[in-house]
Amino acid sequence: MKPTIAPYPAARARRTRQSEAIRGLVRENVLTANDMIWPVFVRDGEGIEEPVPSMPGVMRRSVDLIAKAAVEAQALGIPAICIFPNTDASLKTEDCAEAWNPDNLSNRSIRAIKAAAPDIAVMTDVALDPYNINGHDGYVENGEIVNDRTIEALVKMTLAQADAGADIIGPSDMMDGRISAMRQALEGAGHHNVMILSYAAKYASAFYGPFRDAVGASGALTGDKKTYQMDPANGNEAMRMIERDLTEGADMVMVKPGMPYLDICRRVKDGFGVPTYAYQVSGEYAMVQAAAQNGWIDGEKVMLESLMAFKRAGCDGVLTYFAPAVARILQG
């Protein structure tokens, strides 16, 4: 039943806007550090922190400094950190074997973070693009990104990450059937408590460009990813993908990118009522930062407003590069 609204002047909407104290009493959504997962980029070496040119303020860090960053994130109240590797070009191959190497960048980072900041949850990325000489999320055979052979590799990658101590597996590949295969493998290996946060509705978006620079995948990519990532014109398809991944064993689901797909976030939350996340992707981050650096917007206020949009759309949390900055603001 819709509430009855009295006519003006009996109802004056501005009464509840007159002061910060009153606005706080009627505020519908609240942003906290607990709402954020911080994506970080790891590279080889030691004591290295290098900027990502297309993402102002974002760094590629060596494993030792990733662990230090996790300690800082834990102190800020950020509940989870997500690892993305910048794999050396010499390790990228057709068979992508580095993806499940127990000592690859991601797995070393998991162990280092767990040793340094045991209370922060570690999320990983499961896709072959950081290890694939072709730059794709799956194996390429005769120009086709093949599904079932790719899943076999993704399962090996998943188990290696779980063995290293990952708390949350993040399949970002969009292969059909991968959630079921991963869940069965995790159960079979005794990793009963390892969660799957599925990139269930991941669109073939132009907003990923800076990310591919950050992980060194843009130069290797041949063609595009439209045969496995979703068409940006489709909404109903996203609901089918969400339902499929939940029935296969996903614990949480994600919509990616974020702000251009807030309608999808709301439909997912309303339709399924499950833990729902969005990824405020590199292109979204870069646009805010570039405009702020040019003095065209108030970067801090836009940063906070953009994250509140996700909460309003029904998201339980957001993967965002702004996480440390926002946590510091929220701490005052």
How far apart, in whole angstroms, are the C-alpha atoms of residue 134 and residue 144? 11
Residue 147, CA atoms < 13 Å, CB-side half-sphere: 10
Whether 256 is a known active-site residue: answer yes
- The closest alpha carbon to 207, from 247, 255, 158, belongs to 255
Whether 156 is a known active-site residue: answer no
How far apart, in whole angstroms, are the C-alpha atoms of residue 299 and residue 175? 36
SS3 content of the chain, % helix, strand, coil (to 5): 45, 20, 35
Query: Sign of the CA dihedral 279, 282, 284, 290?
Result: positive
For the CA atoms of 175, 52, 63, 219, what is the dihedral angle to 10 degrees?
50
How far apart, in whole angstroms, are the C-alpha atoms of residue 176 and residue 76? 37
The two most distant CA atoms of the chain are separated, in Å, by: 72
How far apart, in whole angstroms, are the C-alpha atoms of residue 127 and residue 245? 16
For the CA atoms of 17, 20, 24, 25, what is the dihedral angle to 10 degrees?
-60
How far apart, in whole angstroms, are the C-alpha atoms of residue 222 and residue 133? 9
Contact 320, 326 (CB under 8 A): yes
Query: Helices in the chain by DSSP H: which ranges?
Result: 20-26, 63-75, 105-116, 148-164, 178-188, 209-215, 236-248, 262-272, 282-293, 299-312, 323-331
**Which residue among the candidates 202, 225, 269, 311 is catalytic per the annotation?**
202
Q: Is the omega angle on the peptide bond into residue 257 within 30 degrees of 0, that is, cis?
A: yes
28: DSSP letter: S
Which residues does the annotation mark as catalytic?
A: 202, 256
